[in-house]
Structure 1
Amino acid sequence: MKTLLLCSVLLTASVHATDAMTATAQRFVPKGWKLHSYKVGDLNQDNRADLVVIAEQNDPAKRIKNEDLGTQELNLNPRRLLILLQTDTGYQTAQSIDGFLPSANDADSTCLQDPLEVGGISIAKGVLNIEKHYWQSCGSWEVSHDTYRFRHENGRFRLIGFDSWSMMRNSGERSEESVNYLTGKKKIVSGLNEFKPGKPKVKWETISSGQTYYLDDTNLPGSNR
């Protein structure tokens, strides 16, 4: 009985904590927008729970009827990335990023599925991970996945790693790329195949020592997809 009571108390506390975090995230969502998702974690090594929030504009005019292949309605509402750091006086907006996160649908690629449905945000060991997954239900066999890894540095979020893979669903051909911006090394793997074994080719390159990217830059690798 005591074990059941303890479990009930812990569950209730967890629910209340989640509700509180959701309410906090919601407070930073601007009027006319809605809360898409959020993650909690320590981003600046101060042992406090920070918040990374995805907000999505909620404009009915940006939900348009699709006259082409794909879903019947295209949600073109933009998304915003909000990074909230916890301070002695509460949460403060460290960064607000527009244009980096894709909308749920794309007017030019009407069969493209929501890149954040499989991707999204996560926080692990102080690193902010942002993943974008690209695949189309019609019109293309290619599937690709980009993973960005950011670390808090001098008030900004520096890109410390970028991983990307691409696969053809019809042939199984696959390639991978991984860049470590701290060591300046880039790994390229080709000759992979999802359907049959083979001997992949691995190539290493040294990137320019001056290649430093931040989350608020507009020229992040892969951001032109």
Structure 2
Amino acid sequence: MHTVLIAESKSNSLAVPQAALQNQGFDVQTMVLENLDHVNQKSSKGVVSSIVIDQTIATSAKFDTINTLKSYYQAPVFVSVDDNNDDIQSLLLELGADDVIATHAKPRLWRARLDAMLRKCQAVAEQNSNNEDKVLTFGALTIKGDERTVMLENTLVSLTTHEFDLIWLLASQAPQVVSREEIYEKIIGQGYQINSRTIDVRVSCLRKKLGDNATSPQKIKTVWRQGYLFVKEAW
């Protein structure tokens, strides 16, 4: 049985997702997260497979909550939101969330999204074991599979887990175009959702961190109706 940790800004703020997950057979632990010290005080490290937090915690100006929880538990973080505002969802993904789900989503959808992420994490772990000795170099860009690091002009680029997975996928398949369907399957762990902007947001963040031109990208290009192209000669 998979264990899900629900971290709330106040008691019962995520009562609906909690009930949905319990309904679908997950073992659910809860804690009120007033500050990040509570991570050490209230829970045992490494015992959860996924984490669900509310929007208030995720967007707190005081703490880098999402990445702190991900680092401590080595588990994906889902943010529960009250509406489907694109700007809010984009912000949460930029902050490092692995997925964003509507608080009042049906139990079956909660189950499907968490299961998809668990499959993705397992696939990434297998891929990492295969990539341990691989180093990809393109001009001033070096990507190390064993360390999961990216160096650009001898400077370490800070990437989220998904951003590293994305750059590795694109770079390792260059000069082939990588379809949106393949990116969704391998990075998000879900089938392609035509109305979702998740991949667009992550590619945009990656371009920004790698110094690509936002309006006319030269390093990671969008190929209309096909996907994304990592340009080997642009580095």
Q: TM-score range by the shorter chain?
A: under 0.3
Greater relative contact order structure (CA < 8 Å, 6+ sep)? 2
Give TM-score scaled by structure 2 length: 0.26
**Structure (1 or 2) with the greater strand fraction:** 1
